[in-house]
Structure 1
């Protein structure tokens, strides 16, 4: 049975991991700024589901395949890097487009529903092998192989809750300032900066090794 001390420690480490400048942060910020807080929250939910899945995978040994299998790691790395580059290029193209101030009642024309934002968040996290390696190193410190299903589920829910809290906070703060972000110059700056960040993160991921 996991103790309260372990729960607090695990939740704290997960929160610190969520606050790291990973692609997840850039996706939530751009989605909230461009499409509104609701879409940012949907992206945050997708990221949190990805984190939940990685904790389960780490606790059951599935995620460890990325740490020991060069082929598995390379496949996820290449696909994840390609997806980040895709998102980055789309953001840069949006930054280069000319246009007036968008209607705040409409979502980003490139992403027309919350499901698309949720999927974007989920894929950004699920296709990041660095997230897998993070949890492969972290989870065994709290549960051993063959631990009760309840312990695994508890850690997964803690990770999901911590990630949700952080990224919902980010989405709501950015969303509250959306009228500022809706200005054409600011909006294009956000697209340009997040696009450049996603491309840089994609390139960095592409050259990442397991060590």
Structure 2
């Protein structure tokens, strides 16, 4: 059984990975800045669920099979890169169009916004083959030979908790500055910067090769 020391170390490494700049961070910041804290938190939960799923996939060998298969790796890479490019282009179009109106107070946003934000966070994470490579390299170091379902679920829960805690903090901080982001000029800047970042990350993802 994985020791408490191993669990803490695993959680720390996953947390450091979540804190590194990337598409997950860009999505949470944009959602929080443009649509409000609740939407940013929904995106954060979606990302955390994706991370938890990758842990399970790595522990059960599914992620390793995907990383080893050229066809599967390429499909996930192309779809993931295309999704990031889609998000980036959409953000840039909003920025060039003068900045979108805040969505948080509209009836449509109340009905669809949080779920859309959750799905955006989830897809951004699960369509990233770099996440598969990360967890394929990490998880076997913390899962003992012949590990059972309970051990896998513990690591999955630790990864989920650490990731969601970090991104909820990011969403909370950005969300408290909502009045600042409500200014049209600031909204355009946020959309433009995150759009450019997502496009850059999408292009970079498209060039990733298997080790």
- Structure 2 length-normalised TM: 0.95
C-alpha distance in 2 between matches for 1:207 and 1:92: 22
In the alignment of these two chains, the number of paired residues is: 210
C-alpha distance in 2 between matches for 1:198 and 1:37: 20
C-alpha RMSD over aligned residues: 1.8
C-alpha distance in 2 between matches for 1:100 and 1:148: 49
Q: 1:186 to 1:68 in 2, by over 3 A?
A: same
C-alpha distance in 2 between matches for 1:128 and 1:140: 20
Displaced runs of 4+ in structure 1, greater than 4 A?
99-104
Q: Which residue of 2 aligns with 1:188?
A: 188
- 1:15-59 per-position Cα deviation (integer Å, ceiling 9, x unaligned): 000001120000000000000000000000000000010000000
1:66 shift after superposition = 2.4
Which structure features the higher share of helix residues? 2
Q: Which residue of 2 aligns with 1:175?
A: 175
Q: Which residue of 2 aligns with 1:203?
A: 203
Report if aligned partners of 2:2, 2:144 keep a CA contact under 8 Å in 1.
no
Gaps of 5+ in 1: none
- 1:62-112 per-position Cα deviation (integer Å, ceiling 9, x unaligned): 000122111110000000000000000000011011268747623897x94
C-alpha distance in 1 between matches for 2:98 and 2:6: 52
1:116 is paired with a residue of what secondary structure?
helix
2:62 is paired with a residue of what secondary structure?
coil
1:58 and 2:58 correspond: yes
1:10 and 2:10 correspond: yes
Report if aligned partners of 2:100, 2:187 keep a CA contact under 8 Å in 1.
no
Q: Which residue of 2 aligns with 1:47?
A: 47
C-alpha distance in 2 between matches for 1:144 and 1:152: 10
Gaps of 5+ in 2: none
